[in-house]
Amino acid sequence: MSRAVPRSLAARLLDDYDRSLDRAGFCGARLAERLETISRIGLTENGGSNRPGFSEAERQAKDLACDWMRVAGMSVTQDAAGNRFGRLAGRDENLPAVMCGSHVDSVPDGGHFDGVLGVVLAIEAVEMWSAAGVTPLRPYEVAIFSDEEGSRFNLGLLGSGAMVGRHTQDELERLRDQDGRTFSSVVDAAGLPVPNFPQAQRDMSSIDSYVEVHIEQGRVLEREGLGLGVVSGICGLVGLEISVRGVAGHAGATPMPHRQDALVSASRMVVAINTLPGQFSATAVATVGQLNVLPNGANVIPGEVRFSVDIRDVAAGPLAALAERIVATTVQIAKADQVELSWSQVFSVPPTPVDPALVAVQEAAMAELGLPPFALPSGAGHDAMLIGAHAPMAMFFVRSRDGVSHNPREYSSLNDCAQAAHALSRTLTSLVNDPASPDEKQRRLHNV
């Protein structure tokens, strides 16, 4: 009996590909082939990707993309964090560069589009310029950031974080991976000069703007019937830990009116929290994802429940107001139920706005292609999030089939990827040929 050989990713992508999208130097077959070639590195039994940050598989995927960049006429460098940069010289090398990129690491059994699509499309833009005989005015850089997913140290965005000076070496040294290995030993094994990791910090005035294409990892675009969207902002998040204390007791010996059941009160809180985000903004979300019931016995009335609340929104005001209301609501329920409540804020990350001048360029590019410039927020963090705090930033989202991500079933059609290539290339072409500084662009935007 022979097992069916799984069809190659490239063959599946090309199956329903609309070849009229092969124009302006874009080549669907090349994109499909590149996605497939990277997908073979760290391929899992389930047909997924396993390329943790600082692994041999991540390095191989970076090497491969760097080969493509060299062939496309870019010079390639690596910084102290293992980030790779391909640079295409501009006609005026004194101007700050336009940067575009993403990552090639993955979660342990991830998909073949998360991160990789952004890197491959950033390179495709150079292929398209080369076919059109275009030399950009500004230098252009493709960035491949190390360990975006954070599956190694449970701390993501390490490469882009190093570029913007997010962590000191001391902070990094405290990290341990799942096998208890220190940051130094992991980074050393990856062939990077260990104590120099923070030297990857870059003078951010050398970057004019940063654009990233990423799969949506949700179902908003699919529900809208759209292949491509413009990201309206990257959500900030507030993490709360709430503890409800009632009285534990025997499940048989305590009559119902005498109970202070912490789980019943916590359940009321969970239901109440679920109704609140819509009152603050259309994009706000709140999730109770972790619940610890104590003592967690089948015949014991729960004495204590600790639960997490993950609150996100693209706008700082509604985010803070929602977090406050969630706390106030739980306090109210605890009072009514006569249980004790304590809470703490475990983390808070402000939203990262996208740059309005860049968004105007993205929307113009989509309009030229006859695509509606649909805007949607990013609920997940991306390398763009850290860079956006230091340089003008914008993102495109590509439709994810069934909204599935971080899973071998992750898929985006080649037609959607091709539309993204065309919109990205037009956006980047405008940016690399615009000599105006970010300030001048803002003034221009507001004078229109």
| Residue ranges binding Zn ion (CB under 5 A) | 114-115
Instruction: Name the closest residue to Zn ion (Cβ).
Output: 115
Cβ closer to Zn ion: 105 or 355? 105
Cβ closer to Zn ion: 51 or 325? 51
Cβ proximity of 246 and 434 under 8 Å: no
Minimum gap (Å) between residue 53 Cβ and Zn ion = 12
Question: Which amino acid is located at 82 in the chain?
Answer: G
| Residue 301 neighbours by CB under 8 Å, 6+ apart | 246, 247, 248, 249, 250, 251, 254, 259, 261
* Gyration radius of the chain over CA positions: 24
Strands (DSSP E) contained in 235-366 are: 236-245, 249-250, 285-287, 291-294, 300-301, 304-313, 340-349, 352-353
- Integer Cα distance of 123 and 448 in angstroms: 33
Helix H segments across 338-413?
356-368, 383-387
Minimum gap (Å) between residue 31 Cβ and Zn ion = 18
Let me know how many helices (H) and strands (E) the chain has, helices first.
14, 16
- Integer Cα distance of 206 and 101 in angstroms: 16
Residue with tokens 């910090």: 201
Cβ closer to Zn ion: 115 or 218? 115
Distances (CA, A) of 232 to 50, 181, 226, 352: 30, 39, 16, 10
Minimum gap (Å) between residue 395 Cβ and Zn ion = 11
Strands (DSSP E) contained in 31-94 are: 75-78, 84-88
Question: Which amino acid is located at 96 in the chain?
Answer: P
Token pair of 7 as six digits: 């069809």
- Integer Cα distance of 333 and 347 in angstroms: 24
Cβ proximity of 235 and 388 under 8 Å: no
| Residue 443 neighbours by CB under 8 Å, 6+ apart | none
Cβ closer to Zn ion: 260 or 400? 400
- Integer Cα distance of 35 and 395 in angstroms: 20
Residue with tokens 């902002």: 233
Cβ proximity of 139 and 90 under 8 Å: yes
Q: 349: which strand partners?
A: 237
What is the DSSP secondary-structure string of 87-131? EEPPS-TTSPEEEEEEE----TTB-SSTTHHHHHHHHHHHHHHHH
Cβ closer to Zn ion: 217 or 425? 217
